Each structure stands twice: as structure tokens, then as C-alpha cells.
Amino acid sequence: MRIVVALGGNALLRRGEPLTSENQLANIRRAAGQLARIVEGNELVLTHGNGPQVGLLALQAAEQATGEGFPLDVLGAQTDGMIGYLLEQELSNILPSQVIATLLTRVEVDPSDPAFTSPTKPIGPVYTAADAERIGHQHGWAMAPDGKGVRRVVASPSPQRVLGLQPIQWLLSHGTLVIAAGGGGIPVAAMGDGRALRGVEAVIDKDLCSSLLARQLGADCLVIATDVDAVYLDFGTPTQRALRQVDVEALAEMRFPAGSMGPKVEAARAFVANTGRRAVIGSLDHIEAMVQGRAGTEVVPAGSRERSA
């Protein structure tokens, strides 16, 4: 199969862990060990989140004495290179004969997307409410609740077009495991006369971009790997229940938090609705079983039977 696997930022850096190089490397090594299970016999494209990492770089830049730093599109490219390098190296250590390539991938967005005036994408560290108020005021950042803490939120426009599909296709046809569209891709938009592309201050949702990339590549399956084992209804309440298999029409009627599970569900729904193929959301630790349809939440075409735990 041709499989696109989207690795969540929280799968690469667990909630509550400090943003240290040691923690990131340990989690990437763990991720590589799981991903190696599904390489043989498949064409694999890996995408990954970068919310914690790009937010940390932005914070470090803002705290410099000059107060100057690079915009989010450039910081996104930096994190793509860093995370891609670590994934490539750890996968190569496990699969020394496998050819692996990491690509920086630009993704076009609409400069008039309403997301630019309504930031929702959490990035960077988790703060207490008091620290978040102080830091947000100091830097002029929008802040919003994320779990039990508060994080900076930035614009997250919808991906319109993944640029550079041809080299990805060529590499796949030559047996290469490709790491691409990290962090949702590097956001660019047509400015002025509509021909020149410029980087924009945003972070594209990785799951929505992965869904678009999977459709454009003609993937057989989209796997969204995160830090929970399934999609839950009424999550965090006594009545919560895991969805094991749900058809795409039923899923469209359900509502999930915009800053966490919502984009993952929408990404899976869009892929299945547009291709008639399957998508799976679940824990990175169960990725082999997810590909085989034995774990996670499987989103299937309309008319299939829904199962819940």
C-alpha cells in the first residue's frame, strides 16, 4: 500500500515533557521503532507536527535583546529540517538498507483565509494561566487554553495546494521512504499580482495538510498517529466511549475540540470522503495494528457499519 503517516507533535514530544533535545530524541527513536514495522512491502510518506518546536524557537527569538527574530514560515522550515534529520537518522539506524529522504515542502494557503484573524493553532510550551497572561501581554501574542494549561495560538489557514509533488512521486517510485510536509508544510501565499509566492506568518495544521497530500499522492491509507489510542466521544467524562469504526457520514455529525482532535477527525473525514479509502486515528504505539485495521478509530466510506468500544 501507499501509506501517508502523520506523526503528531505530541507523539514526538509527550505532554508535560520539557522541550529538551534528549526528550525529543528519545521519542523520535521510539517513533522510528514503531514506523519500521510498516515499511516492508509498502510505500511510505511520513509527515510530522512541529507545534512545540516552532513555538519554542519563536519564544527564544522574542526573548533576544534585540527582540528580532525570523517569521513563522522560516522557523517552520528550521524545525522541518531538525525533526526530519532526527527521524531519518533513527530510521536509518534500524533499516540500514532503506533509502530515506527528507524534503522541505511549501504549501500554498489563501491570504484572505479568515484564520489569519482568528488564531487557533497551539504552539510552544504550556504555561500556567498567570504566566500565559504575562507572556502574552509582553509579546502581543494570542493565548488560549490547552488541556490544563495555556499556550500561544497562531493563525492556521487551510492548505490549498501542496507544492513539490513531483519529487515526492519520483522518490516513491524508486523505493524511497519520504519525510515531507513537516509541520503542515511551509506556508506560502500568492501576493500582489498573484504570481509571486511569499512566506506568511502561520502554522498550517499538520493533519489537514497530510490529508491533502495523501489525496494528491493517491494514497491507499491515511494514518494519523497521536498520543491517544482512539477518537473518543464525551472525552474526559464518565460517559466517554471510543469509536472503533465509524463511517464518514456519521463522523461529519460529531463535534470535537478545534485545537486538538477536531482537525484530526476532519482530516480523516476529508480523505475518506474524497477517495473512498480508509483512514485511521490512534496511538503511535499501535501503528502496525492500525494499518491492519485492528486498532485505533477506523474511518470508512459511507454505508459501513459503526462499531464502538
pLDDT digits (tens, 9 = 90+) for 44-100: 999 998 888 888 888 887 776 555 678 899 999 999 999 999 999 999 999 999 999
31 closest CA partner among 5, 1, 57, 56: 5
What pLDDT, on the 0 to 100 scale, is given for residue 91? 96
**Contact (Cβ atoms closer than 8 angstroms) between residue 29 and residue 201:** no
Length of the chain: 309
Residue among 206, 259, 282, 296 flagged as catalytic = 206
Torsion of CA 269, 270, 273, 278, to 10 degrees: -60
Active site residue 67: no
Active site residue 264: yes
Choose between 50 and 12: higher pLDDT.
Answer: 50
Task: Report the pLDDT averaged over residues 292-304.
Answer: 89
pLDDT digits (tens, 9 = 90+) for 24-40: 888 899 999 999 999 99
Q: Which amino acid is at 119?
A: P
What pLDDT, on the 0 to 100 scale, is given for residue 10? 59
Cell of 306: 459503526
181 closest CA partner among 108, 115, 254: 108
- Distant-in-sequence, close-in-space partners of 140: CB < 8 Å, separation ≥ 6: none
Cell of 159: 492548505
Residue among 10, 50, 55, 182 flagged as catalytic = 10
Which strand (E) or helix (H) includes residue 226?
strand 221-226
259 closest CA partner among 161, 133, 126, 107: 126
Residue among 49, 76, 121, 296 flagged as catalytic = 121
- Residue 122: CB atoms within 10 A of its CB come to 25
What pLDDT, on the 0 to 100 scale, is given for residue 138? 87
Global pTM exceeds 0.85: yes
Active site residue 136: no
- Residue 247: CB atoms within 10 A of its CB come to 18
Active site residue 148: no
Residue among 9, 49, 84, 124 flagged as catalytic = 9
Q: Can you tell me the distance from the alpha carbon of 46 to that of 205, in angstroms, rounded to the nearest whole number? A: 15
**Contact (Cβ atoms closer than 8 angstroms) between residue 189 and residue 85:** no
**Contact (Cβ atoms closer than 8 angstroms) between residue 35 and residue 255:** no
pLDDT over 60 at 193, yes or no: yes
- Distant-in-sequence, close-in-space partners of 89: CB < 8 Å, separation ≥ 6: none
Q: Can you tell me the distance from the alpha carbon of 286 to that of 9, in angstroms, rounded to the nearest whole number? A: 17
Active site residue 206: yes
- pLDDT confidence tier of residue 304, bands split at 50, 70 and 90: low
| Biggest CA pair distance of the chain | 59
Over the chain, what is the mean pLDDT? Answer: 89
Residue among 27, 124, 264, 296 flagged as catalytic = 264
- How, if at all, do strands 106-108 and 161-162 pair? antiparallel
